[in-house]
């Protein structure tokens, strides 16, 4: 490719090259034979491994410049100054969890409070710091915004605490009430804790409501959200919703346009004890009512059923959504994680490797430099 052909050369190809050109037309036996022979060398299904932290841009000339004594001297001076300012910064810096915080709160209606500070409608915005709590009463609404991250609109009768506001991670607690989040930060960087689950933004807009009893409901309008508690995960794509209950965690998500019978049965199924007659009856209804689009629900049910019930779910799911390459019935019935991920990606609702990447990096026991595949070739 370093020696592009000239105009005269470009006239050479003819109709005989159709198969060589785009693999259509009458097959060229020799080209087919070579394709078959060389297929062994094709790029394999490898994941891209990225470091947890992306290094700064490397400058090619850096090493050469450091070879000059003067530049070395200048570099040493810069290092000395950096250390001086660094030491000053370390001694006088703010709370590290609040580093880079630019959260501003404004009133949309009434007078929401941050601590004892009331924010009147039409007044200037107030800063929202880590550890502070924003409260709206029955007559007030608020907007929390951050230039590079997103905006959260807070409905009346809500309490929100800002837990973390680092450059790569914002975290709030929604103790009660309703928020409407529009997040434009990279996926997984905005997290909302509720009494019954943790909502992880995967690039989207959503509404999250927490009732006084701690149960919550999440509706996604754009992108998708992950709901998580104690190893139980639910993924809620645009148009879907999911409920959670304290100590139980995320329920099974479903599209809001699913049949009323399916939705009613799913609510009962989530409430019933696993593998009981009650659960089995509801499962029959769910499977009967499911459309291909309800593959979202069936995928989640694979890991929420056991034995014959799981086989039932797989039978219906695979009939509605054919399993992609690399996925087998036995593998799914054994809850093979890789196959489950492949099957999820086949639904076309979001790349689950983003979630796996977050899981890995949110593990408090993981080494900071731990590497993790972020993308399987098959999406």
Among residues 207 and 312, whose Cβ is nearest to another protein? 207
Is there binding between residue 204 and another protein (CB under 8 A)?
Answer: yes
Query: What gap in Å lies between CA 352 and CA 342, rounded to an integer?
Result: 8
Among residues 4 and 231, whose Cβ is nearest to another protein? 4
What's the closest the beta carbon of residue 188 comes to another protein, in angstroms? 9
Q: Which listed residue (222, 278, 292, 319) binds another protein by CB under 8 A?
A: 222
Please list every residue from 149 through 178 that binds another protein, using CB under 8 A: 150
Is there binding between residue 15 and another protein (CB under 8 A)?
Answer: no
Q: What is the DSSP string of 49-103?
A: EE-SSPPPPPPTTHHHHTTSHHHHHHHHHHHHHHHHHHHHHHHH---GGGTT---
260-271 helix and 277-289 helix, angle to the nearest 10 degrees: 150
Q: Which stretch binds another protein (CB under 8 A): 62-70, 128-136, 147-155, 207-215?
A: 147-155
What's the closest the beta carbon of residue 357 comes to another protein, in angstroms? 7
Q: Which listed residue (37, 91, 325, 367) binds another protein by CB under 8 A?
A: 37
Q: What is the DSSP string of 88-147?
A: HHHHH---GGGTT---EEEEEES--EETTEE--TTS--EE--TT-EEEE-TT-EEEEEET
- What pairing do the DSSP bridges indicate for beta strands 104-109 and 141-146? antiparallel
Is there binding between residue 187 and another protein (CB under 8 A)?
Answer: yes
Q: Which stretch binds another protein (CB under 8 A): 77-85, 124-132, 184-192, 263-271?
A: 184-192
- Backbone φ and ψ of 303, nearest 5°: -95, 5
Binding mask 224-243 for another protein (x = CB under 8 A): x-------------------
345 vs 80, 292, 339, CA distance in Å? Answer: 51, 14, 10
Is there binding between residue 26 and another protein (CB under 8 A)?
Answer: no
Is there binding between residue 54 and another protein (CB under 8 A)?
Answer: yes
Is there binding between residue 78 and another protein (CB under 8 A)?
Answer: no
Beta bridge partners of 150: 146, 183
Among residues 195 and 223, whose Cβ is nearest to another protein? 223
DSSP H stretches of helix in the chain: 7-10, 18-22, 29-38, 62-65, 69-92, 260-271, 277-289, 295-302, 307-320, 329-333, 337-346, 352-362
Is there binding between residue 100 and another protein (CB under 8 A)?
Answer: no
Is there binding between residue 2 and another protein (CB under 8 A)?
Answer: yes
Q: Which residues bind another protein (CB under 8 A)?
A: 1-5, 9-10, 12-13, 17, 20-23, 30-31, 34-35, 37-44, 46, 48-51, 54-58, 147-148, 150, 182-184, 186-187, 202-205, 222-224, 350-351, 353-354, 357, 374-375, 377, 379
């Amino acid at each position: 490719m370093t020696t592009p052909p000239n105009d005269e050369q470009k006239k050479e190809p003819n109709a005989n090259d159709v198969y060589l050109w785009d693999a259509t037309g009458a097959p060229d036996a020799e080209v087919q034979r070579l394709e078959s022979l060389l297929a062994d060398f094709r790029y394999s299904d490898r994941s891209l491994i990225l470091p947890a932290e992306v290094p700064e841009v490397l400058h090619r000339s850096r090493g050469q410049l450091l070879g000059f004594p003067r530049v070395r001297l200048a570099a040493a001076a810069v290092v000395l100054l950096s250390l001086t300012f660094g030491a000053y910064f370390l001694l006088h810096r703010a709370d590290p969890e609040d580093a880079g915080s630019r959260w501003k709160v404004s009133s949309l209606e009434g007078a929401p409070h941050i601590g004892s500070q009331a924010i009147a409608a039409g007044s200037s915005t107030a800063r929202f710091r880590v550890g502070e709590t924003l409260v709206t009463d029955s007559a007030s609404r608020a907007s929390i915004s951050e230039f590079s991250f997103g905006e959260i609109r807070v409905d009346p009768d809500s309490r929100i605490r800002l837990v973390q506001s680092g450059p790569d991670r914002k975290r709030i607690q929604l103790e009660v009430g309703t928020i409407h989040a529009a997040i434009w930060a990279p996926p997984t960087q905005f997290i909302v804790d509720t009494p019954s689950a943790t909502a992880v933004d995967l690039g989207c807009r959503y509404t999250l409501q927490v009732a006084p009893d701690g149960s919550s409901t999440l509706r996604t309008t754009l992108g998708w959200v992950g709901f998580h508690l104690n190893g139980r995960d639910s993924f809620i794509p645009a148009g879907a919703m999911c409920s959670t209950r304290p100590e139980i965690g995320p329920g099974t998500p479903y599209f809001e346009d699913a049949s009323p019978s399916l939705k009613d049965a799913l609510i009962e199924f989530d409430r019933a004890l696993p593998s009981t007659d009650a659960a089995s009856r509801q499962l029959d209804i769910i499977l009967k009512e499911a459309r291909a689009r309800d593959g979202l629900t069936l995928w989640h049910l694979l890991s929420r059923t056991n034995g014959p019930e799981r086989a039932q779910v797989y039978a219906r799911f695979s009939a509605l959504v054919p399993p992609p390459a690399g996925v087998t019935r036995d593998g799914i019935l054994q809850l093979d994680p890789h196959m489950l991920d492949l099957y999820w990606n086949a639904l076309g609702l979001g790349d689950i490797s983003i979630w796996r990447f977050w899981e890995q990096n949110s593990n408090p026991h993981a080494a900071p430099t731990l590497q993790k595949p972020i993308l399987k070739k098959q999406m």
